[in-house]
Amino acid sequence: MNFDEMIDRRGTHSAKWDKMEALYGVSPADGISMWVADMDFRPPQAVQDALQAMLDHGVYGYFGGDGEYLAAIRWWMQNRHGWAVEPGHIFTTHGLVNATGVCVQAFSQPGDGVVLFTPVYHAFARVIRGAGRVVVECPLVEVEGRMTMDFAAYDPLVAGKATMAILCSPHNPGGQVWTAEELRGVADFCQRHDLILVSDEIHHDLVMPGHKHIVMPNAAPDIADRLVMLTAGTKTFNIAGAHTGNVIIADPVLHARFAKTMEALGLSPNSFGLAMITAAYSPAGAAWVDALMAYLDGNRRIFEEGVAAIPGLRVIPLQSTYLEWVDFAGTGMSADEVARRVEREARIAANHGATFGTGGESFLRFNIATPRARVIEAVERLQAAFSDLQ
């Protein structure tokens, strides 16, 4: 567990490092990649050992017998989230973007509206539009530094126009952990408009010290008949390339609809992903996550203090995830000028806020899950690129 180790990922088919020049014009020769959400760390040793055992055996056939995998999920959710999951409620998909796509197919019709609380993870809108459904944006409202939901304003936007809502909990971007009251508000809203609620909780393990994530079934047990939970260990353990996620559905009618769509799409699990997750959802994996979060909290402090020292820049303090959401509105600069300074002068690749939907236009999203020395370097480069504002 040496999170300070600099691992060179360039030339390893890493989207984060090997696509940044094409996407952001930032050369990997001296650039810092802070965009897509994966970490520059190795996963827990237990995950490496599980893969090594597969490699040593050397035969890579179809996967069969998911009992250990399901038991590992059950153990993790009970121990880390106080949530009792029935193994029979769990489906395995090729990650959660894939799961979102299957949900859209299973629970809505072409032309239906799907509610998003924006700004939010950009792949949701891509999947919804790609499937011929309509994104119904319900913009979050910032009140004293907190993203809040204005359900009274959303009611007329949604009434009769949508069949489904997707919640990102904790929220990406911004890393906000929703309170029990906020989650209840979403549940009531979905009941009021007869929406199926898909709760994407992929970031649920990446919670900063002092904050507590509440899984939707615990916040609103009365919406089990309309709730679809998306969870994965791929963000938690930095194994996004394993493309393995779960859809957990307690309601028998929704469960049957989802099962039918999985069958229609010919989906079956990836044995590498299942082996890695089974190993990770363990006491050793839990200890690794605790150490990871203590380390990321240190990166968070350095990044937030360094960025807050630049006049005109404002950073929303992270409660979870490793994705810092920085507002450049106070500089008075256009989004193009901000991007030019960050990409050309600081030589940092960061996600453009506008891609997350309404409300993200003046922001950039920075991934701080990298060795601390690199976070310090990034802060220094940002301070230099905006030094004329001092």
Ligand X SMILES: Cc1ncc(COP(=O)(O)O)c(C=O)c1O
* 281 within 8 A of 72, measured Cβ to Cβ: yes
d(CA 306, CA 345): 17
Query: Hey, CA dihedral for 141, 210, 348, 120, is it positive or negative?
Result: negative
User: What residues contact residue 113 under an 8 Å CB cut-off, 6+ apart?
Assistant: 133, 134, 135, 136, 158, 161, 162, 163, 164
Q: Nearest-CB residue to ligand X?
A: 95
Give the shortest CB-341-to-ligand X separation in angstroms.
25
Choose between 265 and 389: whose C-beta lies nearer to ligand X: 265
Nearest C-alpha neighbor of 236 from the set 356, 77, 58, 55: 77
Choose between 107 and 386: whose C-beta lies nearer to ligand X: 107
Choose between 230 and 254: whose C-beta lies nearer to ligand X: 230
Q: Around 275, how many Cα atoms within 13 Å sit in the side-chain half-sphere?
A: 17
235-252 in b/e burial notation, b at 16+ Cβ within 10 A? bbbbbbebbbbbbbbbbe
Give the shortest CB-273-to-ligand X separation in angstroms.
10
Choose between 124 and 386: whose C-beta lies nearer to ligand X: 124
Give the shortest CB-387-to-ligand X separation in angstroms.
32
Choose between 83 and 356: whose C-beta lies nearer to ligand X: 356
Give the footprint of ligand X on this chain (CB under 6 A): 37, 95-97, 121, 168, 172, 200, 202, 232, 234, 240, 245
The strand pairing partners of 139, in sequence order, are: 118
Choose between 203 and 226: whose C-beta lies nearer to ligand X: 203
Give the shortest CB-304-to-ligand X separation in angstroms.
20
Give the shortest CB-173-to-ligand X separation in angstroms.
9
Give the shortest CB-123-to-ligand X separation in angstroms.
6
